[in-house]
Chain A
Amino acid sequence: MKARYTLPAVLLLSSVLFAACGNKEEAQPAANNTQTSPTTAAATETNAAAPAASAADFKDATEQYRTYAISEIDAFVTETEKFTEAVKAGKMDEAKKLYAPARMHYERIEPIAEALGNLDPDIDARQGDVDDKDWRGFHKIEQGLWEKKTTDGMSEYADRLLQDAKLLRAKVETVDIDAGLLVTGAVELLNEVSSSKVTGEEERYSHTDLYDFVANVEGAQKIYEILKPNLTAKDPALEKQIGEKFEALNKELAPFATKDGGYVTYDKLSKEDVRTLSQNLDALAEPLSQMGTILGV
């Protein structure tokens, strides 16, 4: 039974560490995981018994990921600015061209944004995810560009989007990045693909779902690469298996790349294409979901 208490111990320990050296309020999301567990109280008592895995073991990994996340968010702000300027200037074609590539920077680090409270819905909600009066962000503008075929009335949303992007950049400095976040984040990225991108629901007006798909996979692959040393030490067969499945999925995705560095629109995919992509994704996500093994038993 000892095993049951170990993770909360590790998580609590790490969130305490981060809370101590960072912003208390921002430590909340990471700690939430443990608070729902009835064993949390017991966990604190067995802290001392927690085996091997500790925050120190993942110091390199978390620092590498922080660097990656910040560089992606920097690029995200830059590209979003170009996009919003095009929207405000009424340049439809240019805005459409900039839309999906700008979003890729966001999709790569989505777990970080999701750890930052309301920012994810503000930036990335689809119609129906939030009350209509609160709906803003990329998909609101997407609807204007592709469905309503106009940039009229979009200036305000463009400004808000850029503000939110910049806010994300400011807040990322405070987010607690621990091994638990990396492990669950990698799986979450693939779950994102599985539940909305592979079905073509994410980009319902522009059909640029494959950009998001690729970006989510790249984000997950980055985490896998960062954790590779830890994973190799703990379970080399699993490390190899995950590597092979990333390779297989990327091979399935390759034919959908276009010459300009983008991807075909979702409506170009056949039923068989979607099914094959989805099955390759599941084949990867299953072993990837075992990465938690590095956190100790």
Chain B
Amino acid sequence: MSKKKNDEQQLNPTTDAGQESASLFRKPVSRRDMLRLAGASGVGLLLGGSGAFGIMAATGATKQPASDKPGSPDNVTTGIPDANRYDFYGQHQSGITTPSQNFMCFASFDLTVSDAAGLKSLLQAWTRASASLMAGELLDGQNENLNLPPADTGEAAGLTPSRITITFGAGPSLFDHRFGLAGKKPAGFGDLPPFNGDNLMPEWCGGDLGVQICADDMQVAFHGMRNLIRIARGSAVLRWSQEGFQRSTESDPNKATPRNLMGFKDGTANPSVQDAAMMNEVVWVQPEDGAGWMTGGSYMAVRRIRMRIEVWDRSSLSDQENTFGRYRVSGAPLGSQHEFDRGDMEAKDASGKPVIPMNSHMRVARGDGKMQILRRPYSYSSGMDNTTGQLDAGLFFISYQRSLEKQFIPMQQRLAQIDALNEYIQHIGSATFACFPGVRQGGYIGDTLL
């Protein structure tokens, strides 16, 4: 099936696409719906045919428990409508401008191989596995030999790919002496500088390689992470990992902006992923940015931000809204009516104070409005903090940008200094990864670098 045909199917409800995607088109289409649809139909197609996220509609791509290989006659269809598969290969990696799936597993690795050849074979093995995982196939290898552990761990057998995406990046430590890559480290790429109020714990920081796995099904996402970890045994070890979630798309018929665990909408100010020019401006590394191997890639900032849930829960609604600079229910800027209103930064109340407080989160984050990032966060809950008996929960912040130095760092410096939200949060983990450009057929993850 050609990309073009695929595209048409998605945009025309009368063609025989999967039932799920067809039903999306029977409703009136709002701006938010369009965003959602962009997810269902493949953002890559809307971004000038980059092709990274072409969804394979109705191909029956489910994980086959038997030995069926894709393309073999008995693997044509399983009768399960399946419009939820992204292409592994393309100009950009998936999972960046892809609309956020319901769940995330993030894994940070330290390499134990000591040379570039070892690194390369790990990345090649991960490439083969990722292509299978995203296609909803069992991992290649022996899955039926009773004398051997099966190549695929099996918990996703029979499940659809659930829009799984797998996004790989290189941490700053990958560019030390070990792999001969020191000369290829992009200028300005490194660990984030210390910010005011940081309370970073080494066990939640850094890593040679970072992998973000997102899917609409937690078991599918976990299966992906687990199998990549397994494949890495002997080549890399897990340094830390985090699972994340947001409200599921099924539970929100209005397809509204997701809310974080503080109850506020999170992501309202994000640039539109449909806007190809905007994505090139904000997210994708351009040829003129230096480090040619990163062209088409993106820099990822990761922060594990614990919320002081108990403290927040006993703050008045007015305090909460002044902290964010938005209304809790509507998400509109204080003084405005609608979520997507720009907000009047000049407005004063009767006593002459700004309606949107000077230290409110949205005001400080916006700054002069010239620099944007693409936020792609998930909530996390890691049970109870055994020391205090309080919840260890918060935001697993992920953002993508062309430049950490020009975009994320100045924004975070402003926030760290005056953001009213700082009273209720604590940054306890931090990492950066240079996410490779997409993989071409026949290539492997990171082949532009190695």
Which A residues contact B (CB, under 8 angstroms)? 1, 3-4, 6-8, 37, 180, 183, 241, 245, 279, 282-284, 286-287, 289-290, 292-293, 295-297
Contact = CB atoms under 8 A, between A and B. Distances in A.
Contacts of B146: 3-4, 6-8, 37
Nearest to A295: B147
B287 interface: no
Interface in B192-231: 230
Interface residues of B, number: 12
A292 B233 contact: no
Contact of A292 (B112, B144, B145): B145
B234 interface: yes
The 4 closest A-B pairs by CB, nearest first: A292-B147, A7-B146, A283-B234, A286-B233
A190 to B, nearest CB: 12
Tell me which of A4, A37, A292 has the highest count of chain B C-beta atoms within 10 A of its own C-beta.
A292
Contacts of A4: 144, 146
B148 interface: yes
A245 B142 CA distance: 22
B234 A286 contact: yes
Contacts of A241: 234
Interface of B: 112, 142, 144-149, 230, 233-234, 237
Contacts of B234: 241, 245, 283-284, 286-287
Contacts of B144: 1, 3-4
A286 B230 contact: yes
Contact of B147 (A37, A245, A279, A293): A293
A142 to B, nearest CB: 29
Nearest to B234: A283
A282 B112 CA distance: 12
Nearest to A34: B146
A182 to B, nearest CB: 12
Contacts of B142: 297
Nearest to A4: B144
A289 B147 contact: no
Contact of A283 (B147, B149, B233): B233
Contacts of B230: 286
22 contacts: A3-B144, A3-B145, A4-B146, A6-B145, A6-B146, A7-B145, A7-B146, A8-B146, A37-B146, A180-B147, A183-B147, A279-B112, A279-B237, A282-B233, A283-B112, A284-B234, A286-B233, A286-B234, A287-B234, A289-B148, A292-B149, A293-B145
A22 B47 CA distance: 72
